[in-house]
Amino acid sequence: MGLLSRKVTCNSHGQDSSYFLGWQEYEKNPYHEVNNPQGIIQMGLAENQLSFDLPESWLAKNADAAGFKRDGQSILKELALFQDYHGLPAFKKALVDFMAEIRGNKVTFDPNHIVLTAGATSANETLMFCLAEQGDAFLLPTPYYPGFDRDLKWRTGVEIVPIQCTSSNRFQITAPALEEAYQQAQRKNLRVKGVLVTNPSNPLGTTMRRDELDLLINFITDKEIHLISDEIYSGTVFSSPGFVSIMEVLKDRSLEQTPVWERVHIVYSLSKDLGLPGFRVGAIYSNDPIVVAAATKMSSFGLVSSQTQYLLSAMLSDKKFTKEYMAKNHKRLQKQQSKLVSGLEKAGIGCLESNAGLFCWVDMRHLLSSNTFEAEMELWKRIVYDVKLNISPGSSCHCSEPGWFRVCFSNISEDTLKLAMQRLKSFVDSIAINDQSHQELKNSRKKFRTKWVFRLSFQSFHDREQDER
Predicted local confidence at residue 83, as pLDDT: 77
460 occurs within a structural domain: no
Identify the CATH number of the domain in which residue 290 sits. Answer: 3.40.640.10
Q: What is the rounded CA–CA span in Å between residue 352 and residue 167?
A: 9
Decide: 348 and 362 in contact? Cβ < 8 Å. no
Residue 233 is among the residues annotated as catalytic for this protein: no
25 occurs within a structural domain: yes
Domain count, the chain: 2
Which range, of 201-210, 356-365, 430-439, averages the lowest pLDDT?
430-439
176 is in which domain, residue-wise?
Answer: 69-322
Question: Do 345 and 298 belong together in one domain?
Answer: no
pTM: 0.89
Higher pLDDT, residue 444 or 208 = 208
Residue 415 is among the residues annotated as catalytic for this protein: no
Question: Do 105 and 193 belong together in one domain?
Answer: yes
Q: Which residue among the candidates 153, 193, 272, 388 is catalytic per the annotation? A: 272
Predicted local confidence at residue 78, as pLDDT: 82
Residue 230 is among the residues annotated as catalytic for this protein: yes
Question: Do 88 and 33 belong together in one domain?
Answer: no
Question: Do 312 and 275 belong together in one domain?
Answer: yes
Question: Do 344 and 310 belong together in one domain?
Answer: no
Percent of the chain with pLDDT over 90: 79
Question: Do 125 and 253 belong together in one domain?
Answer: yes
Predicted local confidence at residue 56, as pLDDT: 93
Decide: 404 and 143 in contact? Cβ < 8 Å. yes
pLDDT digits (tens, 9 = 90+) for 241-285: 999 999 999 999 999 999 999 999 999 999 999 999 989 999 999
Q: Which residue among the candidates 230, 273, 288, 363 is catalytic per the annotation? A: 230
Percent of the chain with pLDDT over 70: 91
| Other CB atoms within 10 A of residue 3 CB | 5
Decide: 47 and 297 in contact? Cβ < 8 Å. no
Question: Do 190 and 253 belong together in one domain?
Answer: yes
Decide: 410 and 205 in contact? Cβ < 8 Å. no
185, pLDDT greater than 80: yes
pLDDT band at 453 (very low <50, low <70, confident <90, very high): very low
445, amino acid identity: R
Q: Which residue among the candidates 232, 246, 284, 383 is catalytic per the annotation? A: 232
Predicted local confidence at residue 41, as pLDDT: 96
Predicted local confidence at residue 443, as pLDDT: 57
Q: What is the rounded CA–CA span in Å between residue 379 and residue 330?
A: 32
Mean pLDDT of the chain: 90
Predicted local confidence at residue 38, as pLDDT: 95
Q: What is the rounded CA–CA span in Å between residue 409 and residue 420?
A: 10
pLDDT digits (tens, 9 = 90+) for 387-405: 999 999 999 999 999 999 9
Question: Do 236 and 249 belong together in one domain?
Answer: yes
| Other CB atoms within 10 A of residue 179 CB | 14
Name the H helices within 132-209.
148-151, 175-187
Q: Which of 263, 290, 322 marks a domain boundary?
A: 322
Question: Do 32 and 173 belong together in one domain?
Answer: no
Question: Do 190 and 302 belong together in one domain?
Answer: yes
263 occurs within a structural domain: yes
432 occurs within a structural domain: no
Which range, of 87-91, 192-196, 333-337, averages the lowest pLDDT?
87-91
Q: Which positions ≥6 away from 277 have C-beta within 8 Å?
A: 47, 119, 271
Q: Which of 293, 322, 351 marks a domain boundary?
A: 322
Decide: 143 and 399 in contact? Cβ < 8 Å. yes
247 occurs within a structural domain: yes
Report helix, strand or coil for 70. Answer: strand
Predicted local confidence at residue 14, as pLDDT: 65
**CA 76 to chain CA centroid, nearest Å:** 36
53, amino acid identity: D
* Mean pLDDT to the nearest integer, 43-51: 94
For the chain, report the end-to-end CA distance as a whole number of angstroms.
90
Q: What is the rounded CA–CA span in Å between residue 117 and residue 205?
A: 25
Identify the CATH number of the domain in which residue 26 sits. Answer: 3.90.1150.10
Beta strand pairing call for 359-363 and 350-351:
antiparallel
2, pLDDT greater than 50: yes
Question: Do 349 and 410 belong together in one domain?
Answer: yes
93, pLDDT greater than 50: yes
Residue 106 is among the residues annotated as catalytic for this protein: no
84, pLDDT greater than 90: no
pLDDT digits (tens, 9 = 90+) for 27-36: 999 999 999 9
Predicted local confidence at residue 447, as pLDDT: 55
Predicted local confidence at residue 75, as pLDDT: 85
| Other CB atoms within 10 A of residue 78 CB | 12
444, pLDDT greater than 60: no
Decide: 379 and 362 in contact? Cβ < 8 Å. no
24 occurs within a structural domain: yes
Predicted local confidence at residue 6, as pLDDT: 79
pLDDT digits (tens, 9 = 90+) for 117-172: 999 999 999 999 999 999 999 999 999 999 999 999 999 999 999 999 999 999 99
Predicted local confidence at residue 21, as pLDDT: 85
178, pLDDT greater than 50: yes
97 occurs within a structural domain: yes
411, pLDDT greater than 80: yes
Which range, of 22-26, 54-58, 124-128, averages the lowest pLDDT?
22-26
Q: Which of 269, 299, 322 marks a domain boundary?
A: 322
pLDDT band at 458 (very low <50, low <70, confident <90, very high): very low
Mind giving me the DSSP string for 403-448? TEEEEE-TTS-HHHHHHHHHHHHHHHHHHHHHHHHHHHHHHHHHHH
Question: Do 335 and 256 belong together in one domain?
Answer: no
126 occurs within a structural domain: yes
Closest CA to 413 of 335, 308, 466, 328: 335
